[in-house]
Amino acid sequence: MCVDAHSPVPSGLTRRGVLAGAAALAGTVAAAGAAAAAVPGSPGAAGGAGGSGGARPRTGDLVVRGGTLLDPATGHVTEDAVVVIRAGVVTAAGRTGSVRVPAGVPVLEADGHWVLPGLTDAHIHLSTTAEARAALRHGVTSARSGSTSFYQDIAIRELARHSPELAPRLRAAGVFVTPLPGDTLLADPDLTPLARARDGVRSAEALRRMVDVNAARGADVIKTRVNERAGLPDQDPLAQVYTHEQLAEIVAAARRHGKGVLCHSYSEKGCHDAVTAGIRSLEHGVFAGERTLREMRRRDTYFTPTLTAIAGLAESADPVLAERGRTFLPVLQRAVRAAHELGVPLAAGTDSSGGTVDPVGREVELMHAAGLPALDALRTATTGAARLLGLDGTAGRLARGYAGDAVLLAGDPLADLSLLKTPVRVIRAGIPL
């Protein structure tokens, strides 16, 4: 079967219908708005993947006063601090007395609490508004999707743009570029021709088509895989499903749209093939060896190990999965420690899915347990993850010009990283939740 890679991917009504369906599946209160956002020139037009168009987002004015402010970028601690947020953006931050507090702005007293920027989960599957709200409760104010079955993450992203108190700021991945997408192909009229392929989505034309359709639907990044899944007992996570050449085809197609690729991986050969094919970040990467890690450092390829997900396998009632978890976790911890020592950039991601949202604070704890100093572990869910998402001027710090996203903690996270799992208060775009 051959797919004409040069035929245009339709938009217009098809795009509107697809995104309206995604919004309905996600359960967003803005299903109609998401459909309208697909139509250029409409009141809620998104204007493509990168902008919120004419929709005016709801943001807040707030002063957070009296807490202990921690800047992950520098490690600097400011006691009795003040953070001023206007229209959802930090306009000033510093010690009380050095920052002018504008009159008439609501004040949130933070005495006895530590104040940190909102956290980032660099690998999470958000398919519903309930999951988006659960992520916010865990302090996740920015995130990157690990893909959804039918573009629900794109609908969640649009919800977050105009109602930030309902969802984290999101980089959406759309649908998974995988050899056997299953019913996902039937959900999108521009993907249904691929269902005729006897060997699945493996030809260069089919791979390009999946990337092109994702881009047409508004995906910010592209998600693919090199190995089978560890979370399914009948699959071998060391079995390779795409060759280096196929991965390079996916990366090249994504780059034509200005998008990076995140790649599900386990085996050393698979990891190395993915990295040398040009992916932006390696996901899971349990058996990534020194050769691959050095290549990652040279290329500035990120490592998102999802330690939380691998540790969770050990708690499975299925004996095959439990054994995998017990075997894989120490191997992955060694890989994370080696990556940090070599200077490979690391990002925290929980790989949460299926209605259960794990706190990204647990991932930070596991980064620390793998050998990262507490501040470096914290950076994987703040400044480091923000850079991976292209948000290094927006998220990860509470400084002038950054987003007014914050978490209040009951104590010093550098002394007790477990505090990150249970924020006392979360602020999104200047709106206390």
pLDDT for the residue 121: 98
Contact 158, 297 (CB under 8 A): no
Q: Where would I find the beta strands (DSSP E) of 71-202?
A: 77-86, 89-95, 107-109, 114-117, 119-124, 140-145, 169-171
Sorting pLDDT into bands at 50, 70 and 90, what band is 199?
confident
Other beta carbons within 10 angstroms of residue 427's beta carbon come to 29
Q: Is 9 a residue whose pLDDT tops 60?
A: no
Query: How many helices and strands, by DSSP H and E, does the chain display?
Result: 14, 15
Task: Put residue 431 in one of left, alpha, beta given phi > 0 → left and psi -120 to 50 → alpha.
Answer: beta
Could you tell me if residue 8 is inside a domain? no
Shared domain for 159 and 194, answered yes or no, is yes
pLDDT for the residue 197: 84
Could you tell me if residue 6 is inside a domain? no
Shared domain for 259 and 308, answered yes or no, is yes
Could you tell me if residue 27 is inside a domain? no
Other beta carbons within 10 angstroms of residue 114's beta carbon come to 22
Sorting pLDDT into bands at 50, 70 and 90, what band is 18?
low
- Two tokens at 362? 């647990």
Average pLDDT over residues 198-212: 95
Could you tell me if residue 45 is inside a domain? no
Task: Put residue 209 in one of left, alpha, beta given phi > 0 → left and psi -120 to 50 → alpha.
Answer: alpha
pLDDT tens for each residue of 415-424: 999 999 999 9
pLDDT tens for each residue of 238-250: 999 999 999 999 9
Query: What percent of the chain has a predicted confidence (pLDDT) above 90?
Result: 82
Which of these ranges, 48-57, 75-84, 338-347, 390-399, has the smallest mean pLDDT? 48-57
Q: Is 389 a residue whose pLDDT tops 90?
A: yes
Sorting pLDDT into bands at 50, 70 and 90, what band is 59?
confident
Shared domain for 110 and 166, answered yes or no, is no
- The domain that holds 155 is classified in CATH as 3.20.20.140
Could you tell me if residue 44 is inside a domain? no
Contact 163, 30 (CB under 8 A): yes
Shared domain for 86 and 223, answered yes or no, is no
Q: Is 4 a residue whose pLDDT tops 90?
A: no
Residues near 73 by Cβ (< 8 Å), separated by ≥ 6? Answer: 379, 383, 396, 397, 399
Shared domain for 346 and 214, answered yes or no, is yes
Contact 398, 83 (CB under 8 A): yes
Shared domain for 239 and 332, answered yes or no, is yes
Shared domain for 109 and 149, answered yes or no, is no
pLDDT tens for each residue of 300-354: 999 999 999 999 999 999 999 999 999 999 999 999 999 999 999 999 999 999 8
Shared domain for 293 and 415, answered yes or no, is no
Model confidence pTM above 0.85: yes
Other beta carbons within 10 angstroms of residue 39's beta carbon come to 17
Average pLDDT over residues 276-296: 98
Count of CA atoms in the C-beta half-sphere (13 A) of 398:
36
Phi and psi at 62, nearest 5°, equal -160, 145
Q: Is 28 a residue whose pLDDT tops 80?
A: no
Contact 146, 223 (CB under 8 A): yes
Q: 67-92 burial, b if ≥16 CB within 10 A, otherwise e?
A: bbbbbbeeeeebeebbbbbbebbbbb
Shared domain for 127 and 146, answered yes or no, is yes
pLDDT for the residue 33: 46
pLDDT for the residue 17: 63
Shared domain for 277 and 135, answered yes or no, is yes
pLDDT for the residue 186: 82
Could you tell me if residue 36 is inside a domain? no
pLDDT for the residue 321: 96
Number of domains in the chain: 2
Contact 364, 381 (CB under 8 A): yes
Average pLDDT over residues 278-286: 98
Q: How far is CA 354 from CA 27, 115, 321, 351, in A?
A: 15, 31, 17, 10
Q: How far is CA 81 from CA 68, 93, 380, in A?
A: 6, 7, 24
Contact 304, 347 (CB under 8 A): yes
Could you tell me if residue 52 is inside a domain? no
Shared domain for 69 and 106, answered yes or no, is yes
Shared domain for 129 and 195, answered yes or no, is yes
- Return the bridge partners of 265, or none: 284
Q: Are strands 281-284 and 302-304 parallel, antiparallel or unpaired?
A: parallel
Print the domain residue range for 322. Answer: 119-393
Mean pLDDT of the chain: 90
pLDDT for the residue 14: 52
pLDDT tens for each residue of 91-107: 999 999 999 999 999 99
Could you tell me if residue 39 is inside a domain? no
